[in-house]
Amino acid sequence: MGMIAIAIARIHNLFAVVMLTGIFSLLGAAAYVIMDAVDVAFTEAAVGAGISTVLMLGTLALTTSEEKPSPKKNVVGALIVVTITGAVLIYGTLDMPHYGDPLAPVHQHVADRYIGQSGTEVGLPNVVTSVLASYRGYDTLGETYVIFIAAIGVLAILGRVRFPRRREEDIAEDDAQKTPDETARETGA
Amino acid sequence: MKQKIILRVISKFLIPYILLFALYVQWHGDFGPGGGFQAGVIFAAGFILYAIIFGVDTVRVVIPAVVTRLLLVFGVLLYSGVGVAGIILGGNYLDYNVLAHEPTHGQHYGILLVELGVGITVASAMITIFCTFAGRGPEDPEEEV
């Protein structure tokens, strides 16, 4: 995954970059499967590797598939900032509990009840669905609204019904052909 | 891509199975991995594949823009409506226990409807977004931006 990330940063052909981001998402999905998070992996594969790749390709079809060569900027400064940020993030992970640690704080709070009680309280075999749709119904409702708003936003910006634009001379021609009577009617006389 | 006969034939074979798999993921989300979100995306992927191969205008014949926009709203309203139904039947908002006589049955119905709402919204949102993007075509340089 690291190699793909470096390749994405280095390659200038945007079509290849889009394909590589799709592969990156697919590898991410595989990593989730290894960590037994099948539902998350499913979403990552469908959304990250599938839909977003297609949407990026759609955007490329509208623009261009070759990155514009940017003028040489302060590469060293950017590298320093990225290195420091990465180091801080890695330092932050040192305090995290080990993977699968049953004493981790995340397993101490509500997870016990979800795993222990959801069979009798909700009655679904898939605990993930119980948590998503029932215990955390508000969050999922919010997510649905996010998707809804995203679609509304795209529609508001791009989705207007497009009428074939009349050129100036066509309009002038039409006006010239009109009888004075028609012009008077149009101006609301 | 309309002239690629292999793509046309293969996609026609694949699309029914994609839609069927999406429905399986939708209704089987209670028992296995999956649910409304994933099902919606897969369902939309079937339509998007069709749009890529046969063109956006052909898809708009199958599922017109008005239909996707109505479904977009319908999914959200279905989810919210389940919550309101909980209030009307004497519970809290999004409380499924009161939807049926048995609390677990109520939970079952509630989750099924809620997931359906999510699936419908996600599917129509994805189809809408893709079709508005792809339906524009390369930008006409003469046109105003």
A180, part of any domain: yes
Cβ contacts (< 8 Å) between B132 and chain A: which residues? Answer: 154-155, 158-159
Residue A4 lies in a domain: yes
pLDDT at residue A88, rounded to an integer:
94
Q: In the 3-class helix/strand/coil scheme, how is A32-76 assigned residue by residue? A: HHHCCCHHHHHHHHHHHHHHHHHHHHHHHHHCCCECCCCCCCCHH
Per-residue pLDDT of A12-39, as tens digits, reads 888 888 899 999 999 999 999 998 888 8
Q: Give the pair of three-digit tokens for residue A186.
A: 């149009």
CB contact under 8 A, A62 and B136: yes
**pLDDT computed for residue A27 by the predictor:** 92
Is the same domain home to A123 and A61? no
Domain membership of residue A27 (yes or no) is: yes
Considering A44, A68, A92, which residue would you say is the last residue of a domain? A68
Q: Do the Cβ atoms of A129 and B139 come within 8 Å?
A: no
From the list B96, B104, B128, the residue facing A151 with the nearest CB is: B128
For the cut 80, the answer to whether the pLDDT of residue B112 exceeds it is yes
ipTM of the complex: 0.82
Which pLDDT score, from 0 to 100, does residue B121 have?
92
Q: Nearest to residue B36, comparing CAs of B129, B128, B121?
A: B121
Say if A74 falls within a structural domain. no
Residue A186 has pLDDT above 80, yes or no: no
Output B48 or A180, whichever has higher pLDDT. Answer: B48
In A, minimum Cα distance to B33 occurs at A39
Please tell me the distance from the alpha carbon of residue B62 to that of residue B54, in angstroms, as a whole number: 11
Q: Which residue of A has its CA nearest to B75?
A: A144
Contact assignment for B111 to A122 by CB distance below 8 Å: yes
The mean pLDDT of B36-42, rounded to a whole number, is 88
Residues 15-74 of B with CB under 8 A from A: 25, 29-38, 41-42, 44-45, 48, 52, 69, 72-73
Domain count, chain A: 2
Closest partner residue to B133 (CB to CB) among A41, A128, A158 is A158
Do A63 and A142 fall into the same domain? no
Q: State whether A59 and A116 are in the same domain.
A: no
Lowest mean per-residue pLDDT among A95-109, B32-46, B70-84: A95-109
Q: How far apart are CA A30 and CA A41, in angstroms?
A: 7
**What pLDDT is attached to residue A140?**
87
Q: Is residue A90 part of a domain?
A: no
For residue A102, pLDDT beyond 70: yes
For all residues of chain A together, what is the average pLDDT? 79
**Which two structure tokens, joined as six digits, stand for A166?**
């009349």
pLDDT band at A87 (very low <50, low <70, confident <90, very high): very high
Of A50, A125, A151, the CB nearest to B41: A50
Instruction: List A78's β-bridge partners, or say none.
Output: none
Q: Do A125 and B31 touch (CB under 8 A)?
A: yes
Instruction: Check CB contact under 8 Å for B41 and A154.
Output: no
Looking at residue A180, its pLDDT comes to 52
Residue A86 lies in a domain: no
- What confidence score (pLDDT) does residue B134 get? 78
Q: What's the confidence (pLDDT) of residue B145?
A: 36
The domain boundary, picked from A13, A47, A68, lies at: A68
Residue A52's pLDDT is 87
Confidence of residue B144 (pLDDT cuts 50, 70, 90): very low
Residue written as tokens 């995340």?
Answer: A106
What percentage of chain B has pLDDT greater than the value 90?
14
* Alpha carbon distance A136, B19 (integer Å): 28
Contact B44, B126 (CB under 8 A): yes
Contact A137 B94 (CB under 8 A): yes
Question: Residues A182, A114: one domain?
Answer: yes
The letter for the amino acid at B95 is D
Residues of chain A positioned with their CB less than 8 A from the CB of B125: 147-148, 150-151
Q: To the nearest whole number, what is the mean pLDDT of chain B?
A: 83
Instruction: Classify residue A108: in a domain, yes or no.
Output: yes
End-to-end CA distance of chain A: 71
**The pLDDT of residue A130 is above 60:** yes
In a shared domain, residues A17 and A59:
yes
pLDDT at B143 over 60: no
Query: For A163-174, what is the mean pLDDT?
Result: 52
Q: Minimal Cα–Cα distance from B136 to chain A, Å?
A: 8
Assess contact for B69 and B124: CB atoms under 8 A: yes
What pLDDT does residue A177 have?
56
* Residue A10 belongs to domain spanning: 1-68
Q: What percent of chain A has pLDDT over 90?
A: 16
Q: Rank A147-151, A159-163, B33-37, B130-134 by mean pLDDT and report only the highest.
A: A147-151
Residue A73: inside a domain = no
**Domain boundaries of chain B, sorted by first residue:** 5-134
Mutation site for A-interface testing, chosen from B24, B71, B122, B131 by largest number of A Cβ within 10 Å = B122
